[in-house]
Amino acid sequence: MAQLKTRPNGGNVQAFIANVAHEQRRADAEVLLTLFLKVSQRPAVMWGDSIIGFGRYEYSNQRGKHSWLLTGFSPRKQNTTIYIMQGFELFSSEIARLGKVKTARSCLYINRLENIDMQVLEQLLKKAVIDMRHRYTCY
């Protein structure tokens, strides 16, 4: 399970973004950094090699007690991935209005921020963070 391997570390978020090779992903990452800082009210922390996380939550399962990022994003080669940890069932209205995106279990894939409605993205992130804070112990 990737979550058990990916941990917060002392990596420099600004340096990571500055080194993103894809120019559009790098520019989008700067915009997302500002948005996530505003919405989460938590500092940006590198998780593993390529995820910028904001806050964390604790959960338990059969393997024990774990900690994972509350929300975050990663400027990847194919797209930018935004992490909505509880999935998208509660956010179908926002997803429908967001624009050109794809979703998987807890990942929202965006090719370019210019193809989505940034106000809707902000609403989605706010709702997701509030929901996670109600469900879990968050820091």
Q: Residue ranges per domain, the chain?
A: 2-133
H runs (alpha helix) in 19-105: 23-40, 92-98
Angle between helices 23-40 and 118-135 (to 10 degrees): 50
What's the pLDDT score for residue 1?
39
| pTM (two decimals) | 0.92
Choose the weakest-confidence range: 1-5, 47-51, 74-78. 1-5
What's the pLDDT score for residue 24?
95
The answer, yes or no, to whether residue 55 has pLDDT greater than 80, is yes
CATH placement of domain 2-133: 3.90.1150.200
